[in-house]
Structure 1
């Protein structure tokens, strides 16, 4: 099928590249000329494992092209994906200006032939009908007859760092529309994914397709992300209780995760959630509820817990080092999660701000991030450790598990490790010379069995 993807941000580019990979003829449109030229040179503008390789393969096969010409893209595509950003405004509401501009532009360029217009961007609930009206406004400006179109809500559920895998191995595909014709087109588009033709495990049953009305499809996206964010906030709150009573949250999470009603995913205590989705989507859902006179007590609490959790490392540093003014703190990792270059709402940013305000010098090392204002970036973990009074593991990059921590400890003024993701082995760190502090984990030495030497009883003769 001929597909046009408008917007080559994280969602748009991954969607376009993967659809081209499974055999469709895809044109990706963006108004950023420099970005389009970069992609035309077969260079991906974002870091995502596997993306650049399949992008180059699809381009060489002639199934993927990039352009700044929206009219060309609308003419090309039978299915038009709107995949532009909807960043959060200061009040929590989603900024839909880019969606509006694209919808109006589509209407201005629609001509012969039936089109399916797909909301792939995470848009406020009720946006399907709104996009339809904006498209019709664009059509009316030209006073030209068109064959017709339908709007479909098709939310994405991609995880940064594993988005290509998630595209080819989806848990479900959600399609929201009142048009059977549009739904049939979308099912044809996704048929190779529904059949698991490109799945890692092709023995699994076909992918479930959830067909709903527009509003329900939009709500599914928000509800899913809000639930996962709340689940993380919950386990972080449990971790903080564990800290006080001497329990180990990693063992608690394992124990409750074995319950099939709970599951073990998103039960990793740490420094809170960030990124481009959870903060924005939870805020947008709260804002929508407020618009309709409902106060979201649970979601508000999840957000509040998360804000506190982002700065928990500062409290733990103070507990050991006391005064932070004049101390040098190294951050191991900066991105909000591994296998991405995304710094949006990353806990590291608030941690940097708080430590700087308290008079500490902040250094950082990240495998992908090479530029960040107001922070000295090290080129290696060894360079980061030089002269530090403490290191905070912020991002659980896989390579951080295998560092030579003995060598790092020898380079530091005081070998303190705040493991903000409970990612490292406490015994290994202790043997390397570190004072190890985790999140919701007691001093692991207390958990070791004590060796009791029997006393010899002397009996009087």
Structure 2
């Protein structure tokens, strides 16, 4: 099939490349000419493992194209995906749908024939109805079918998530739309990956409900971690003990400095606002949003405690800036709140991240960026692990100690059992694990 993808951000690029990989002819469209120029030279503007190679392979095979010309992309197309951003609207937290509506308008105006318009962006319930209205008002002579097809991609594992999905959710309102969607996803259904056809509003709500539930698990385990620290329990054991229950599951039960990223913060807030607008407030989700914001800021105070409650004038080394490993995404990263909190207390910050430092410069200022973990700790008073990159799991503590003014390690991701840093003379603290538990790990 010929498919247009409008919006070449994270979701649009990964989706377009993967659809080309399974044999569709895909044309990705974006207003950003510089980005399109990059992609036409096989230079991928985001970091996602395996994506660059797939772009080059599919461009060489003739399955994948990039352009700023929407009319060209839609010429003879069977379907058009909307994959533009839906950030939180400034002021009230609602999803900003202006990009979605603009994309729908432009697609309708440039459509060359009957078209299935598929919303891949994360949008509140009822957005598909508005997209239908926009398309039909713009081109009453044209036959449009609007579909909701939310993405469930994890940054750092997006290609695997698309190519081997745990489910494909499709919201349709017509047999014609269902037929087109079945053809698009036939390569996946043939491999046995489950496809769920529902109505459009159900599909739209499913995305928000899924992300909010995962955020709930993270907020919950972080709350339990706080209790563990004062009652002498070990959050790792608690997480494993409850996660082995198949009704709960082991994923998203790792205590840490709070969740961030492009999805959970904005999606939980958007769901809260949607529920409030319909006079059905989701008190649990409202509390999750509050807990997480408090959690991120509280981590700076935890670090200060390890520095004898005085960080003014001290230098802190931060390892990991992105909200998770294997991405360069800094959106709502816990590191932002942590670093700003430390700076508010007068600390100087040195930082290192394998992929995120260029993006971090757009969110943080007055930081010394370093090219390695070793250079980062030079003449510092404490070392803090914020993001669990693999290279931070085997740090050379003997060398680190020689470079630091004070051997203090705050492990906000529980990467270590405590024995190794303590053996090298480090004062060590992690999350949800009393010191005696950490040192005498069983």
TM-score by length of 2: 0.96
Deviates more, 1:157-166 or 1:370-379: 370-379
- Provide, for residues 267-295 of structure 1, a one-character-per-residue CA deviation record: whole Å limited to 9, x for no partner: 00000100000001000000001101122
Q: Which residue of 2 aligns with 1:438?
A: 430
* Correspondence 1:345 to 2:332: yes
Q: Does structure 2 conserve the Cα–Cα contact (< 8 Å) formed by 1:105 and 1:138? A: no
Of the three residues 314, 319, 335, the one matched with 1:332 is 319
CA contact (8 A) 2:93 2:273 kept: yes
For the 8 Å contact 1:4–1:76, the answer to whether it is kept is no
Confirm or deny that 1:385 pairs with 2:377.
Answer: yes
2:187 corresponding residue in structure 1: 192
Query: Contact conserved, 2:171 with 2:203, CA < 8 A, in 1?
Result: yes
Residue 25 of structure 1: how far off its partner (Å): 0.4
Distance in structure 1 (CA, Å) of the matches to 2:138 and 2:366: 45
Cα deviations by residue, 1:346-381 (Å, 9 ceiling, x for unpaired) = 011111111111000011000012332321101111
Aligned residues: 435
- Which of 243, 253, 262 lines up with 1:267 in the alignment? 253
Distance 1:195 1:252 in 2: 40
Query: Which runs of 5 or more residues in structure 1 are unaligned?
Result: 197-205, 451-461
Q: Which residue of 2 aligns with 1:280?
A: 266
Quick check: 1:237 aligned with 2:231? no
Structure 1 residue 449, shift from structure 2 partner: 9.3
| Secondary structure of residue in 2 paired with 1:77 | coil
Q: 1:340 to 1:446 in 2, by over 3 A?
A: closer
State the partner residue of 1:37. Answer: 37
Task: Return the alpha-carbon distance in structure 2 between the equivalents of residues 449 and 403 of structure 1.
Answer: 19
Give SS of 2:139's match: helix
> Are the equivalent residues in 2 in contact too, given 1:352–1:362 (CA < 8 A)?
yes
Contiguous gaps of at least 5 residues in structure 2: none
Q: CA deviation at 1:447?
A: 6.1
Match of 1:216 in 2: 202
Equivalent position of 2:289 in the other structure: 303
Within 2, Cα distance between the matches of 1:351 and 1:139?
A: 50
Alpha-carbon shift at residue 124 of structure 1 (Å): 1.5
Q: Which residue among 279, 290, 295 is the counterpart of 1:293?
A: 279
TM-score calculated relative to the size of structure 1: 0.92
Partner of 1:200: none
- The CA distance in 1 between the partners of 2:305 and 2:50, in whole Å, is 42
1:57-104, CA deviations, whole angstroms, 9 ceiling, x for partnerless residues? 000000000000111112242110000001101311011111111111
- Structure 1 counterpart of 2:152: 157
The answer to whether structure 1 residue 396 and structure 2 residue 388 are counterparts is: yes
* Matched ranges for 1:12-31 at <5 A: 12-31=12-31
2:399 paired with 1:413:
no
Whether the 8 Å CA contact 1:364–1:384 is kept in 2: the answer is yes
User: Which residue of the partner structure matches residue 105 of structure 1?
Assistant: 106
The answer to whether the Cα contact below 8 Å between 2:14 and 2:51 also exists between their aligned partners in 1 is: yes
Three-state SS of the structure 1 residue aligned to 2:185 is helix
Query: Partners of 1:335 and 1:3 in 2: how far apart?
Result: 32
Following the alignment from structure 1 to structure 2, what is the Cα–Cα distance between the partners of residues 433 and 108? Answer: 67
Q: Distance in 1 between matches of 2:257 and 2:357?
A: 22
Give the secondary-structure state (helix, strand or coil) at the position aligned to 1:23: coil
Q: Which residue does 2:95 correspond to in 1? A: 94
Matched with 1:179 is 174
Aligned counterparts of 1:123 and 1:77: Cα–Cα separation in 2: 24
Shift of 1:431: 1.6
Q: Where does residue 129 of structure 1 map in the other structure?
A: 129
What SS does the aligned partner of 1:85 have? Answer: coil
Per the alignment, residue 370 of structure 1 pairs with 357
1:199 match: none
Contact kept, 8 Å, 1:178 with 1:213, in 2: the verdict is: yes
**What RMSD in Å do the two structures reach over aligned CA positions?**
1.4
Partners in 1 of 2:109 and 2:369 — Cα distance? 47
- 1:453 aligned partner: none
